[in-house]
Structure 1
Amino acid sequence: MARPEPGRVFKLVARTQAEEDAYDIRANRQLPKPSGLTGSIAHLVKGALGGGILSGHVAWMTAGLWVAVPVSLACGLYMFYCLFILVKSAQILYKRTRVPVMTYPDVGEAACACHSNPSITKLAKTFRYMIDAMICIDLFGSCATYQIIIAKSLKQLVENTQTTSMEGINGMPGLRFYLACIVPFVILICLIRHLKWLAPLSIVANMVVLFCIIVAVYYAFENNPTLTGMVPYTSFYNFFEFIGMAVFSMSCAAVIIPIENNMKDPDKYHIALSVGMSLIISCVFCVSFFGYAGYLDKCESPITVNFPLNTLGKALKGCIMVMIYVTHALNYWVPFATVFYYMKRKLDPNKHVMWELIFRAIFVAIIGLVAIIFPTITALMGFLGAFCLSNLAFIYPNVIYLLVHWERPGLGPFRWRLWLSLLMIVVGIFFCICGSFVSAVQLITIAINPGKRSDI
């Protein structure tokens, strides 16, 4: 997601279908290094494969195999459809506004600004701020989970024991101590102000994740050759906790628009999305199924914690720490850039760099405090998936789709676009409310009494 552009105003320019069709998005984009189809697919997969995929096996353990398999597939298809209509709506808005490149918040603002109803037009900035807020909460929250993954992996390596717990073993400090200790080091990497220094490392980070998937499959057959013993289902309550984690593990809602913006041939975005989501779902299924099969009711997050403490296992635990450390900085850059854009308006322009570095450190410290208060990976991921990503991946795309299609080309025979989008929105709201409530209860429980939950 790019930084918001000051002074940008979205107005309806193309008032007929002919004027829309006459505008060539590709010809009006000035891209120094556009991505081809393969590169776009790679960026899409890279945007989804992070810390979330390393906890998929815990999500499946939470729901049970018979529930997790069809619901994970349904969530993937649901997300594919919603992201497809989001990009489709964005491309229509490029033509209507004659603005060839937009961010996700831009698309939301433009969808309202170009509507004929003045009441909706007035909500353009509000809708933009809502999308900005959700993206920031999601990515800042993801950073908190990353800090917990780093601290938990570090704690296990220091204690050199397969058993993990919130408290320390043999008089050693607990998880919260490690969380506090890593904050200064996380601040250091988050002080990097330019993505170009971090981007090359992200490729290595994703290779580590892919290797972990292969190792998870290997250990599944070694520990459970028959791949049996998985619980078919658990409880309705656990289902909503699972939903949030499932959505979190495969969502790429925050990156889909920027990827389309940088495509050499934007008309092929549907191919990139189809192939990319297929690969994402496949990776999630591999980690989730084989991770659950390999460790059954002893599943913990991240999956590398379950790996044995042999040379390979320790190496992967260390690599995951480094990978998540880099991913944290990449994730942090996007929401901080958005927040600081709004903050710096009230700061001395001559001291922007100084204030940026100060606020970068402050925000990381706040994220670290959140991780210390709620040191549970799965519940935090579940909350972010249910609260933030239900909005970003399910609800907002359908709202934007309706706003864009309301008058031209219209709602279709029997208003099918309206009824379908309303159904998608209602399902998204249902997941958001129920999943957020269940995960919030888990977060409060772990904050008050960490011993209540073991799959931290």
Structure 2
Amino acid sequence: FVDEALLLTYYLCCIVYVVFTASSLKQVADINLNINMDIRLYILLVTVFVLPIGLIRNLKYLVPFSFIAIVALTFGCGYVLYEVFDDLPPVTSRPVFNGFDSLPLFFSTIVYSMDGIGTVLPIENAMKKPQSFLGCPGVLNISMFWLLAFYSAMGFFGYLRYGDETAGSITLNISSSVMGQVVKLAVSLNVLCSFGLFLYVPVEILWRKFEPNVPKSRNTLYYYSLRLILILASVVMAAIVPDLEPFVGLVGALCSSTLVLFFPPIIELVTFWEDEDYMKRWRVIKNLLILLFWLLILITGVRSSLARIIELYT
């Protein structure tokens, strides 16, 4: 079941990436070319770019794309923060709490944005000193601290700047200036270059299941056929639901929450249940509270995201 959850999480992320890239391209084209095409046409255009990247099999060939993605994202985030802090309204201009109806999507989006569980073990296994990964403070704790600080700052000041007009991705809120359009293209480039990495996880999970039944003489053909099918299917599904915000919430509520909030406490309870020295009462209560929180996000998040999608397309 863990494999299925990982597969669904990372594959839905690929779909979100396609939608995000198409949304950014549409904004740039609408402003600079004065055309107003349906976003689904841009999704088809994105296929031209994700196909060659998605067909790369060896991770080492994705390293240059990852470097380009990091540079583009750093540049994009820097300019976004510049625009956010330009003419920032007072804190009192925004409501402290926007109602309970928005909480499910809020929690789902947070879980989605913080989800990196699929890369935890590979990073730890590749480290020269794996014990430093989970130590105190440890690589994981330090990286999560800065990640949480950055996300919190971007979320707080981003909403303070744009209010209820904040889009599913804040890059869609920046101005229509030349630099603003360059940033949108840069962040889209980051997403495109990351597509191959996110597709790698579902491909490897599915290939492990299919490979024993594949003739060795056709191993390569079947492998690349699987990649091609997954890429084209992600484009088709993105075209069916080309709205970013509820899609991100659905991924967070359905998949990311299960990986982050369901499996860890369950595994700890099952593994250490008979170890009385380790499994103190507070650990049991902690794990039960995490599971209740997971159930809350799963039910409310999926319901609100699906309702939003149905409302948009009916």
Q: TM-score range by the shorter chain?
A: over 0.9
Q: Give unmatched runs, 5+ long, in structure 2.
A: none
The one-letter amino acid paired with 2:196 is A
Residue number in structure 2 paired with 1:437: 303
Displacement of 1:147:
0.4
The equivalences for 1:79-228 within 5 A come to 130-160=1-31, 172-224=36-88, 226=90, 228=92
Tell whether the 8 Å contact from 2:29 to 2:35 is kept in structure 1 after alignment: no
Determine if contact 1:227/1:294 at 8 Å carries over to the other structure.
no
Q: Secondary structure at the match of 1:301?
A: coil
Distance 1:409 1:350 in 2: 54
Q: Which residue of 2 aligns with 1:82?
A: none
Which residue identity is paired with 2:43? L
Correspondent of 1:358 among 221, 225, 230:
225
SS of residue matched to 1:172: coil
Task: State whether structure 2 residue 127 is matched by structure 1 residue 258.
Answer: no
**Long gaps (5+) in structure 1:** 1-129, 162-168, 450-456
How far, CA to CA, are the matches of 2:34 and 2:194 in structure 1? Answer: 32
Contact map agreement 2:247 2:305 (CA 8 A) in 1: yes
Partner of 2:263: 396
Query: 1:246·1:385 contact (CA, 8 Å) conserved in 2?
Result: yes
Q: Distance in 1 between matches of 2:88 and 2:289?
A: 41
8 A Cα contact 2:265 2:287, kept in partner:
yes
3-state SS, counterpart of residue 198 of structure 1: helix
1:141 aligned partner, one-letter code: L
Instruction: Indicate the residue corresponding to 2:160 in structure 1.
Output: 293
Shift in CA distance, 411/221, structure 1 to aligned 2, threshold 3 Å: closer
Q: Does 1:421 align with 2:287?
A: yes
Q: CA deviation at 1:152?
A: 0.8
Inter-partner Cα distance in structure 2 for 1:142 and 1:255 = 14
Percentage identity across aligned positions?
Answer: 26
**1:253-292 Cα distance to aligned partner (Å, 9 max, x none):** 2111222222222222231111011011012112212222
Q: 1:335 aligns with which of 191, 197, 202?
A: 202
**Higher RCO (C-alpha under 8 Å, 6+ residues apart):** 2
Listed one character per residue, the Cα deviations across residues 275-328 of structure 1 (whole Å, up to 9, x for unaligned) are 011011012112212222222232123222222222221211111121110111
Q: Report the Cα distance in structure 2 between the residues aligned to 1:383 and 1:262, rounded to whole angstroms.
A: 32
Residue type at the aligned position of 1:443? I
Q: 1:297 to 1:423 in 2, by over 3 A?
A: closer
CA distance in 1, matches of 2:130, 2:4: 27
**By how many angstroms is 1:411 displaced?**
5.6
Amino acid of the structure 2 residue aligned with 1:371: A
CA deviations over 1:367-394 (Å, ceiling 9, x no partner): 1111111111111111111111111111
User: Could you tell me whether the CA contact under 8 Å between 1:241 and 1:435 is conserved in 2?
Assistant: yes
Match among 228, 240, 243 for residue 104 of structure 2: 240
Q: Is the 8 A contact 2:8 2:255 kept in 1?
A: yes
Deviation by residue 1:173-225 (Cα, 9 ceiling, x = unmatched): 21112112322331221111111111232133123323333222221221325
CA contact (8 A) 1:187 1:361 kept: yes
CA distance in 2, matches of 1:305, 1:354: 39
Q: How far 1:441 sits from its partner (Å)?
A: 1.5
Q: Aligned equivalents of 1:142 and 1:312: distance in 2?
A: 27
Separation of aligned partners in 2, 1:307 and 1:173 = 21
Structure-1 separation of matches of 2:20 and 2:218: 35
Amino acid paired to 2:176: L
Asked if 1 retains the 8 angstrom alpha-carbon contact of 2:40 and 2:242, the reply is yes
Structure showing the higher helix proportion among its residues: 2
1:279 corresponds in structure 2 to 146
SS at match of 1:232: coil
- Higher Rg of the two aligned structures: 1
Contact persistence 1:213–1:283 (CA under 8 A): no
Q: 1:222 to 1:209 in 2, by over 3 A?
A: same
Aligned length in residues: 311
Distance between the aligned counterparts of 2:311 and 2:16, measured in 1?
Answer: 17
Change (3 A) 1:423 1:302: closer
Of 320, 325, 329, the residue aligned with 2:187 is 320
The 8 Å contact of residues 183 and 368 in structure 1, kept in 2 or not, is answered as: yes
Could you tell me how far apart the structure 2 residues matched to 1:154 and 1:225 are? Answer: 29
One-letter amino acid matched to 2:182: A
Deviation for aligned residue 1:345 = 2.0
Mapped partners of 1:254, 1:325: distance in 2: 19
Distance 2:45 2:80 in 1: 29
Alignment partners' CA distance in 2, 1:327 and 1:175: 21
Give 1:150 shift: 0.8
Structure 1 residues 262 and 172, CA gap change in structure 2 (3 angstroms) = same
One-letter code aligned to 1:132: D
In the alignment, is the contact (CA less than 8 A) between 1:220 and 1:227 conserved in 2? Answer: no
Which secondary structure state, in structure 2, belongs to the residue aligned with residue 255 of structure 1? helix
SS at match of 1:408: coil
